Chains A and B, each alone.
Chain A
């Protein structure tokens, strides 16, 4: 076996399960795309909104999961420590009798090829569904450039801790904004390819230099200049008043910023989305898109939800996916699983509130600066305010904003159980299952939208389907709660408190909807079923079980 094939074999053996799952997932995506009728993403003039969103959300949702996983694999991201000064390239490979350009070049080449292939297949599959030309080559190359720069940054040693982490944000922002710029300024293809080629070669040279330096131990360490050295807080801070406080500090230091920084990153990419004034002729729906430019905010909000899921599954940005096992230092602290989990829930609440504050400040700031989308937003706000009674309008606004904050928190805590299990196979399997379920729902939505003859049947079946789902969910919740009681992982009082909180949230949502929805829209069984399906209980109860499984293997 040649050294290059041996390196490829290394990736395969290390990520065999994940890559196989990804391959299966991609196959399903392809089949779903091919099964959709031609022109499914086509938007007839004056048609309703959803197909536009689907045209963006469906391929993006498929792509994000696959691209993120491949970037994680080919950057050696599972072994990298973003905060550290040292190179994230596995040092064990440096002792191989191979020149550095081989160690750097081949993983870059394979990763780029895989990502480009992923885009090519997706573009090929969806181009028949859209009424506009899906670019075949440059988005794939852009993904390759993104990977190459992540590799360069992760593999280069840095003179200061955390510098790598903060460099990744602007570099990724610039690269992800490239599609907007290409569309906005109608950049000729040759210029786009030229720019991407330059960026790719620059990334390779940077990575090569970084790994060469790291391989011979040439890691420059800067000491902070005296004015920038703040006093060590630990020398002056008083001791923690309790173990819970100490654990809260620990969790916040470890995970708190991991949500805030990506949210700030999302907010930073809003301007090019919101303030573009693109001739959307390429999308064949110029008027609609331009009139509804504010809808570009939706991807940003969706990103917050996706990030909350990523955060919750333990894939914190500070250490990518090094390990999900509870470190023995933490596992041997004399605290209960209930306490460890309570602290995690509290940190999730703090980081949710802080994240939404950052998002709100960012949105207000960009709206204040004006622009096409800002103007449309203001018009929409005013129109809605005038159309509805003040009480109803503000009630809805508070309900939606409050609901979004609560749902983000719920999203975080309900997804936590996978990361807490400490088992990579659980995390990967659940990730694939969730994404596939999401894509499947969208696919079903498309199919149903294209077949109005089935709408009456679906409408008749919907309550039964929802009822069956609620029964299944209730059974799973009962099983989880009984397991919790049997193992005494959570004191009975806390367990009852958890149930009381769940019922309070459910009742609150019911009351709010009762007050806000028009009478002819409000259906008691429908609202109850919806709330029961929306509010998590089983996965919350699974969290302590998963943590105990991780702690006492």
Chain B
């Protein structure tokens, strides 16, 4: 599935397949990330998010297909691509023997666009002590140090791979959200993978769901919120199985009352419910986590049909 956009894409991935031995980590993945958006990548553990991000960074070579970042191949031209990317990894493998001051001094040398005042402001905001060694920092502080190193040169593309791990909820909500919004508001692009979908829902513009190495769904966040509903239906008679309702992603319930997470416009859904003999007794918005769970429960066959 390709995000429809004619604007030049910051990231353009076409038909990428990657295997590790017998395991297929990515299978024919195509994805476009337009400039100036916060793009969320969602998937269960082992679904291929980190593999996809590593292809974007050039840390993995595409076996099939092509990866272009800023219209360049990140493997063939690592300098041209990486000088425009800020990356915070899930592993957060900053050199443990460095102090925060040394980390800043070392990282700064690689980026002509580094701004000392921005870095200092960010350091204060993140409450990092210059003299602290990385290996003595807590997990949260290490993530903050990584964030500082990734953000201080104002990269055109910020890639965050599970950045929330180790950060406490207050820091996640206030700092990460603010930074991501700031970056996006300035026309910069963010590629963001996370398990914390409520957090992602607050900040992303577009979402791609990845499952078993395949992109199963991608859409703008506004469209997702507008076109997904949780409907509670009542039937005149008890049913042993849920009805065939176009747009229903998942079902729960028994007897006369069934609840579905549905995809589609409200009027179309209402017509479809009436057609199958039911009545909508409750309608509610659904969060991204519920949509994600509903879509992940679907069989590959139903995804293909859609």
Q: Which B residue sits closest to A235, measured CB to CB?
A: B101
B residues within 8 A CB of A83?
97
Interface centre among B57, B82, B97, B130 (most CB of A within 10 A): B97
Q: How far is the CA of A462 from the CA of B105 in the complex (A)?
A: 56
A residues within 8 A CB of B95?
250, 254, 327, 329
Q: Which A residue sits closest to B103, measured CB to CB?
A: A234
B residues within 8 A CB of A237?
105
Q: Mark A239-278, 1 if CB is under 8 A from B, else 0.
A: 1111101110110011000000000000000000000000
Give the contacting residue for A336; candidates B78, B101, B130; CB below 8 A: B78
A residues within 8 A CB of B235?
none
Q: Which A residue sits closest to B74, measured CB to CB?
A: A552
Residues of A in contact (CB 8 Å), total: 34
Q: How far is the CA of A336 from the CA of B79 in the complex (A)?
A: 6
B residues within 8 A CB of A34?
none
B268 CB to closest chain A CB, in angstroms?
A: 46
Q: Are A553 and B61 in contact (CB under 8 A)?
A: yes
Q: Mark A80-93, 1 if CB is under 8 A from B, else 0.
A: 01011000000000
Q: How far is the CA of A336 from the CA of B80 in the complex (A)?
A: 10
Q: How far is the CA of A337 from the CA of B89 in the complex (A)?
A: 21
- Taking CB atoms and an 8 Å cut-off, the chain A residues in 336-365 that contact chain B are 336-337
Interface centre among B60, B83, B102, B130 (most CB of A within 10 A): B102
* Interface residue B22 (Cβ < 8 Å from any Cβ of A): no
Q: Are A232 and B131 in contact (CB under 8 A)?
A: yes
B residues within 8 A CB of A451?
none
Q: How far is the CA of A333 from the CA of B107 in the complex (A)?
A: 8
- Taking CB atoms and an 8 Å cut-off, the chain A residues in 216-246 that contact chain B are 232, 234-235, 237, 239-243, 245-246
Q: Contacts A243-B109, A336-B79 hold; do A235 and B130 have CB atoms under 8 A apart?
A: yes
Q: How far is the CA of A301 from the CA of B79 in the complex (A)?
A: 41
* Interface residue A97 (Cβ < 8 Å from any Cβ of B): no
Interface centre among B57, B59, B85, B108 (most CB of A within 10 A): B59
Q: Are B97 and A334 in contact (CB under 8 A)?
A: no
Q: Are A240 and B105 in contact (CB under 8 A)?
A: yes
Give the contacting residue for A334; candidates B99, B106, B111; CB below 8 A: B111
Q: Mark B173-204, 1 if CB is under 8 A from A, else 0.
A: 00000000000000000000000000000000
Q: Are A553 and B60 in contact (CB under 8 A)?
A: yes
Q: Are A243 and B101 in contact (CB under 8 A)?
A: no
Q: How far is the CA of A501 from the CA of B83 in the complex (A)?
A: 31
Q: Are B110 and A234 in contact (CB under 8 A)?
A: no
Residues of B in contact (CB 8 Å), total: 38
* Interface residue A48 (Cβ < 8 Å from any Cβ of B): no
Give the contacting residue for B58; candidates A81, A327, A552; CB below 8 A: A552
Q: How far is the CA of A505 from the CA of B214 in the complex (A)?
A: 54
A212 CB to closest chain B CB, in angstroms?
A: 23
Q: Contacts A334-B111, A552-B58 hold; do A328 and B91 have CB atoms under 8 A apart?
A: yes
* Interface residue B128 (Cβ < 8 Å from any Cβ of A): no
* Interface residue B76 (Cβ < 8 Å from any Cβ of A): yes
Q: Are A246 and B79 in contact (CB under 8 A)?
A: no
Give the contacting residue for A553; candidates B59, B99, B106, B135; CB below 8 A: B59
Q: Are A234 and B93 in contact (CB under 8 A)?
A: no
Q: Are A327 and B105 in contact (CB under 8 A)?
A: no
Q: Are A332 and B57 in contact (CB under 8 A)?
A: yes
Q: Which B residue sits closest to A242, measured CB to CB?
A: B109
Q: Which A residue sits closest to B93, measured CB to CB?
A: A327
Give the contacting residue for A239; candidates B82, B105, B130; CB below 8 A: B105
* Interface residue A167 (Cβ < 8 Å from any Cβ of B): no
Q: How far is the CA of A553 from the CA of B82 in the complex (A)?
A: 16
B286 CB to closest chain A CB, in angstroms?
A: 35
* Interface residue A331 (Cβ < 8 Å from any Cβ of B): yes
Q: Are A552 and B61 in contact (CB under 8 A)?
A: yes
Q: How far is the CA of A553 from the CA of B54 in the complex (A)?
A: 10
Q: Are A234 and B108 in contact (CB under 8 A)?
A: no
B237 CB to closest chain A CB, in angstroms?
A: 55
Q: Mark A539-551, 1 if CB is under 8 A from B, else 0.
A: 0000000000001
Q: How far is the CA of A138 from the CA of B3 in the complex (A)?
A: 72
B106 CB to closest chain A CB, in angstroms?
A: 5
B236 CB to closest chain A CB, in angstroms?
A: 57
* Interface residue B258 (Cβ < 8 Å from any Cβ of A): no
A residues within 8 A CB of B94?
329
- Taking CB atoms and an 8 Å cut-off, the chain B residues in 194-220 that contact chain A are none
A224 CB to closest chain B CB, in angstroms?
A: 12
B residues within 8 A CB of A239?
105, 108-109
* Interface residue B246 (Cβ < 8 Å from any Cβ of A): no
Q: How far is the CA of A396 from the CA of B149 in the complex (A)?
A: 53
Q: How far is the CA of A232 from the CA of B100 in the complex (A)?
A: 11
Q: Are B89 and A328 in contact (CB under 8 A)?
A: yes
Q: Contacts A234-B130, A235-B130, A552-B75 hold; do A334 and B93 have CB atoms under 8 A apart?
A: no
Q: How far is the CA of A442 from the CA of B110 in the complex (A)?
A: 49
A residues within 8 A CB of B97?
83, 253-254
Q: Mark A486-509, 1 if CB is under 8 A from B, else 0.
A: 001000000000000000000000
Q: How far is the CA of A245 from the CA of B110 in the complex (A)?
A: 10
Q: How far is the CA of A278 from the CA of B104 in the complex (A)?
A: 57
Q: Are B78 and A240 in contact (CB under 8 A)?
A: no
Q: Mark B58-86, 1 if CB is under 8 A from A, else 0.
A: 11110000000000000110111111010
B residues within 8 A CB of A241?
109
Q: How far is the CA of A250 from the CA of B107 in the complex (A)?
A: 11
A101 CB to closest chain B CB, in angstroms?
A: 29
Q: How far is the CA of A161 from the CA of B134 in the complex (A)?
A: 13
Q: Are B59 and A328 in contact (CB under 8 A)?
A: yes
Q: Are A332 and B101 in contact (CB under 8 A)?
A: no
Give the contacting residue for B78; candidates A249, A328, A551; CB below 8 A: A551
Q: How far is the CA of A250 from the CA of B95 in the complex (A)?
A: 9
Q: Which A residue sits closest to B159, measured CB to CB?
A: A332
B residues within 8 A CB of A488?
76
* Interface residue B87 (Cβ < 8 Å from any Cβ of A): yes
* Interface residue B255 (Cβ < 8 Å from any Cβ of A): no
Q: How far is the CA of A240 from the CA of B97 in the complex (A)?
A: 18
Q: Are B59 and A334 in contact (CB under 8 A)?
A: no
* Interface residue B46 (Cβ < 8 Å from any Cβ of A): no
* Interface residue B8 (Cβ < 8 Å from any Cβ of A): no
A-to-B contact residues, CB < 8 Å:
81, 83-84, 161, 232, 234-235, 237, 239-243, 245-247, 249-250, 253-254, 327-329, 331-337, 488, 551-553
7 new A-B contacts, CB < 8 A, other than A232-B101, A334-B78, are A246-B106, A250-B106, A328-B89, A329-B89, A329-B146, A552-B60, A552-B75
Question: Which 9 pairs across A and B sit closest by C-beta, in order of nearness?
Answer: A246-B109, A234-B101, A334-B83, A334-B82, A240-B109, A327-B93, A234-B102, A552-B75, A552-B61
B-to-A contact residues, CB < 8 Å:
57-61, 75-76, 78-83, 85, 87, 89, 91, 93-97, 99, 101-102, 104-106, 108-111, 130-131, 133, 135, 146, 149
A-B pairs with beta carbons under 8 Å apart, 9 shown: A83-B97, A84-B135, A232-B131, A235-B101, A246-B106, A329-B94, A334-B78, A334-B111, A552-B78
